[in-house]
Amino acid sequence: MEYFVFDTIEEASKKAYAIMKANINEHSTLGLATGSSPVALYKEMIADHKAGNFSYKDITTFNLDEYVNIDKNHPESYYSFMHNNLFNHIDINEERIHIPAPYTNDDAKLAKIVKGYNDELEAASVDVQILGVGSNGHIAFNEPGTAFDSTVHIVNLKENTIKDNSRFFDFDMEKVPKRAMTMGIKNILQAKNIIFLAFGANKRDAVAKLLAGKEDVNYPCTSLINHPHVYVIVDKAADPTTK
């Protein structure tokens, strides 16, 4: 694991982009994340694309997760997030974009959607996975307690995750979806390289657990410790060694 601390999210995101570019070509497969953490990295990707340095025409993407039964075009769906923050600004082929699509509450249908996404992931090979972390140490929507060999599944979100995410839903916990579909920890660990981004003081605990180097099922982010190519990039606020 390589560990980098930066003063600002912008500097951190430039480093993240440099690592990403060093590990992909124009035919690679990217694992993408939502949340505020990767937004500045996505800006770097867009700027470099607009400068004519990189084409996404033949790039394939897989997103980590999506809320269950949200309207696909809801402004806070991860489908909308990815299009607004990245896909609408690069030359990616819509057919190469994969985002979990659990747009139903019907459990039988959800089971099929879960299996379909897992099969697609099994057939793919993710070169670089971008990862954020929840304040409780979750990765994607793998909440504390999730088995490290989990594959794609439906999850009931923990109360503090619903609370954290209520900022996107008028701070109204009632409006936040209570279930999500997520890549499992095993799927995430299959990526060749993982770029882990954590910014802000509320990520300090999770980063400290990761740096402690001991697997702890109550902190899903600690599943990364034995992966051979993990780049942990944080700002000072999230760095547990900064006073």
Residues near ligand GLP (CB under 6 A): 33-37, 64-65, 132-134, 140-141, 161
Min CB(226)–ligand GLP separation in Å: 20
Amino acid in the structure at residue 95 = E
Identify whether the C-beta of residue 96 lies closer than 8 Å to the C-beta of residue 60.
Answer: yes
Nearer to ligand GLP (CB atom), residue 36 or residue 69:
36
**CB under 8 Å to 69, separation ≥6 — which residues?**
102, 103, 104, 105, 177, 179
Nearer to ligand GLP (CB atom), residue 59 or residue 197:
197
Nearer to ligand GLP (CB atom), residue 54 or residue 65:
65
Nearer to ligand GLP (CB atom), residue 32 or residue 59:
32
Q: Which of 206, 187, 196 is nearest to 1 (CA)?
A: 196
Nearer to ligand GLP (CB atom), residue 1 or residue 39:
39
Q: Which of 117, 125, 122, 61 is nearest to 93 (CA)?
A: 61
Q: Which two tokens stand for residue 106?
A: 């019907």
Identify whether the C-beta of residue 169 lies closer than 8 Å to the C-beta of residue 207.
Answer: no
Q: Which two tokens stand for residue 45?
A: 């990707």
Min CB(55)–ligand GLP separation in Å: 26
- Ordered alpha helix ranges (H), the chain: 9-22, 39-50, 78-85, 107-123, 159-165, 185-189, 204-212
Min CB(193)–ligand GLP separation in Å: 17
The residues assigned a catalytic role are 65, 136, 138, 143
What is the DSSP secondary structure assignment for residue 158, as one 8-state letter?
Answer: P
Min CB(101)–ligand GLP separation in Å: 15
Q: Which of 97, 102, 47, 99 is nearest to 71 (CA)?
A: 102
Min CB(168)–ligand GLP separation in Å: 9
